[in-house]
Each structure stands twice: as C-alpha cells, then as structure tokens.
A = this chain, B = another copy of it.
Amino acid sequence: MPDPRLMTDASLTPGAEIALDAEQTHKLATVLRLKPGASVRAFNSRDGEWRCELLRADKRGGALAIREQVRAPTPSPDVDLLFAPVKRHATDLIIEKATELGVRGLQPVITKRTIVDTVRLDRLALIAREAAEQTERFDAPAVSAALPLGRVLDGWDPARTLIYADERGDAPDAQWGGDKGRAAPIADVVAALSPGQPLALLIGPEGGFDPAERQLLRSLAFVAAVSLGPRILRAETATIAALSVIQAMWGDWRG
C-alpha cells in the first residue's frame, strides 16, 4: 500500500516540523499503528505533496518532519457541483465521489422538492477531506452553506456554464419522456464546451425539479440542459455519471 497521505494547512518546506491534529494523530497511531520513523505523505494545494517522517504520534500529540517534495501541485479543473441534499447515505456518496472526480466546490441547494433541510457542513467537509487524501488530489473541495436554488441562480456569474440534469419529469406519465426528451445528450453538450471554460453541474432531488423551477432553469442563457439517457438514474448516480463525462471529455482526463 502507498504511504498514508494527510492534508495539512501547514507550510511544507524541507526540514520543517509540523504538528498533527488529534484526528491525524489518531489515524496514524491507532488506526494504522505506525511507529516513529514511518514514512507518511503530507500535502496541500499550495506546496504540493511531500514525503515526511513520523516523529511521534501518541497521547500527547503527533508531529512530522518534512523531507522532500514528491509532486508539485496541480489545480483541479474549474467545475463546481450544485446538488440537492438527498438521504444521508446518498449525500455522503455524492460528496465522496465528487471529490474523487475532481470537483472544486460543493454547493448544497434547497429545491421545492428537497426533503432534507438540515445539512451538516462539518460532516460533509470531513468526508471531502478524507476522499481528497485517498484520491491523490492536492486540495479538498470547498463546501458552501446550503442556499435556496433561486438565490444561487440570482447571483450566478453568466460566464460559468451550468449543466443541468433532471432525471424525473414533472408529470407521472412523463417520467422518462417529457423532460429528458427536451434535453440534449450530455456528450453533445460537453463536446461543444471550450477547454478551460468555468463549469458547474446541477443535479436535482430524487423527486425531480418542480415545474416552475424547471421553467426558470430552461429560461436562463447560462444553463445547458443535458440528458443522461433512457434509464432513470438515482441522484447520486446522475452526479457521478455527469461528472465523469465532463472530466473525460472536457476536464483533466484528456491526457
């Protein structure tokens, strides 16, 4: 297994010594049972990733000695995720997977059909940080406080294209046809984007957007409605699927 990887705010310079917080110390000493002298990696988006030596990790705290840089930092592609909070397990999955898929910012949005209205930001930030450590990126996505959809759209920078996927139509009889039929295939929309153009992805709640919300979204020039095919995807599947297509065709999977 590769050396454990810890995100830190501390400045990473050769020979420096940095303190570990209680959670990091617990992870190294208790979960991974590392002893002083073990090799660990520390990283942040400013200094990149560094090989470090564990100096101590016990009840009194932990510390690392910074040795040498392993990788210089590279920024994540400029894509944010706007998501309607769903059940806790599915929301956790969205945060973890969006982090693996290189999202820069996470914005919970409250829609008319959003059932969940309490969003534990500290919990989401922790999941994002752990996923960032695991996925070898240099930063964790920033988690913003939940906002109503209308507020988010009111303050939108029109230079940022908002790709919007709505898996459920509004009428029961139009469940796979109506709304998805009017949206363009995601590959066509993503293929037409300029490289480097700022993006965001908006995924609706399990029950779909309300007709008024859908009408508003469709009226905005910066919004591009996309279809994710003939099957109905759960919110977390739609999120992972759309982000994957975006990274593969527009983002940093292009090699």
Contacts and interface: CB of A to CB of B under 8 A. Distances in A.
Contact of A252 (B136, B207, B230, B247): B230
Q: How many copies does the complex hold?
A: 2
Interface centre among A74, A230, A232, A244, by most B CB within 10 Å?
A: A244
A144 B231 CA distance: 23
Contacts of A122: none
Interface stretch (A21-29, A61-69, A154-162, A180-188): A180-188
Nearest to A233: B100
Interface in A155-192: 172, 175-176, 184-188
Interface string A199-231: 000000001000000000000000000011111
Interface residues of A, number: 44
A253 B186 contact: yes
A65 to B, nearest CB: 20
Contacts of A252: 229-230
Contacts of A237: 97, 100-101, 240
Contact of A101 (B2, B134, B241): B241
B135 A254 contact: no
A176 B41 CA distance: 14
B255 A102 contact: no
Given A102-B229, A244-B240, A248-B245, A185 B234 contact: no
Contacts of A230: 74, 136, 252-253
A1 interface: yes
Contacts of A58: none
Nearest to A236: B97
Contacts of A231: 100-102, 135-137
B100 A234 contact: yes
Interface centre among A101, A187, A228, A252, by most B CB within 10 Å?
A: A187
Contact of A229 (B93, B186, B253): B253
Nearest to A185: B255
A226 to B, nearest CB: 9
Given A97-B237, A185-B253, 7 more contacts: A102-B231, A185-B248, A227-B255, A229-B247, A242-B244, A244-B244, A248-B249
Interface of A: 1-3, 74, 93, 97, 100-102, 134-137, 172, 175-176, 184-188, 207, 227-234, 237, 240-242, 244-245, 247-249, 251-255
